[in-house]
Every structure is written in structure tokens, then in C-alpha cells.
Amino acid sequence: MPAEKKHITLSYSVFESVEALMENDKALLLEARNATGDAYAPYSMFTVGAAALLYNGEIVKGSNQENASSPAGLCAERVLLSAISSFYPKIGIDTIAISYFNKKNNKSGKPVAPCGICRQSILEYQLQQQKPIRLILAGMEGAIYIIENIADLLPFSFSGSDML
């Protein structure tokens, strides 16, 4: 007897440009784009910026920080989460915008999604606050993706409940 096949679907919204976004989302994405300028990426030349809108209205930014000792670097999303947990430990995250610029080819015209470790890290915050975290994914130009729940990017996620 053949195995039962299951399917996973992902729903997300696509906007053609930043001008098509609602004002709050537009402002947050512009902060993430601006944060790419704070990145330290002399090795990959791939600068990433992230900005979070907290439930208290504050916006916090982070950028990727590379290191010659390659595993020691941090992605923009985890720098952002560290800043939030340090300066706003009891405040939830509503939305995170992520943007990038590839200095090697001067291109960043399509959205890029967080790496696996960052997806897991953002999901952990979502599980703690028990409210979805939205993602706005973009480059410096072109299409923008909005995902309403980080869990949609990690359908077979691992959580503390798996360790019980």
C-alpha cells in the first residue's frame, strides 16, 4: 500500500513596490533598508538589515555582523532579536521587515527570506509571545512579500514541547 501524500501550502501577499504598502509597513521596510548600511559584511559583501515594529510602537533595527572566524558572525535577524530581548524584554514583536544589498553585483531586486537558524529564532519569540509575527521580505527595489506568520516558513518546526 503506498504512503499517504500530504501537501504544505504557503500563502503570502506580493506587492510590486514599496509605494504599494500600507504606511506602517512602508516605514518599517525603509528602516530595514536603511539598516543594511550598518552591516559589517567585508567577507560576503552581502549586507542585511532588519527592523521590528514592537507592540509598544517602538522600532528596533539590526544588521548582519560578520567575523573573520566565520561561524562567529550573526545574521541581522538574530542581532535584532538580541537587541529586543535586551532593551525591550517584555514587549512583543508585531512585524519584522528584512532587506539586503549584494555589494558584489550591486543587485537586490527580489525578496530574500531568513536562513533556517533565523526562522527558528523568530519562531521561538512567536511561541513566547503567543501571537503571530508578520514578515516583510524585500530587497532594495522590486517585489515585496508579506508573510502573516513566521510559522508558515517553518512548517516542521522544533519547539520546547518536542522535548517534553
Record the cell numbers describing residue 22, joined without a space.
500600507
- Give the Cα separation of 38 and 49 in Å (integer): 8
Residue with cell 567585508: 42
What is the rounded end-to-end Cα distance, in angstroms, of the chain?
A: 33
Report the amino acid identity of residue 73.
Answer: G
Task: Judge contact between 48 and 40, C-beta under 8 A.
Answer: no
**Phi, psi angles (nearest 5°) of residue 76:** -60, -40
The alpha carbon of residue 114 and the mean position of all alpha carbons in its chain are separated, in whole angstroms, by 5
Report, as residue numbers or ranges, the catalytic residues: 77
Which residues face 136 on adjacent strands? Answer: 97, 146
- Give the Cα separation of 75 and 26 in Å (integer): 22
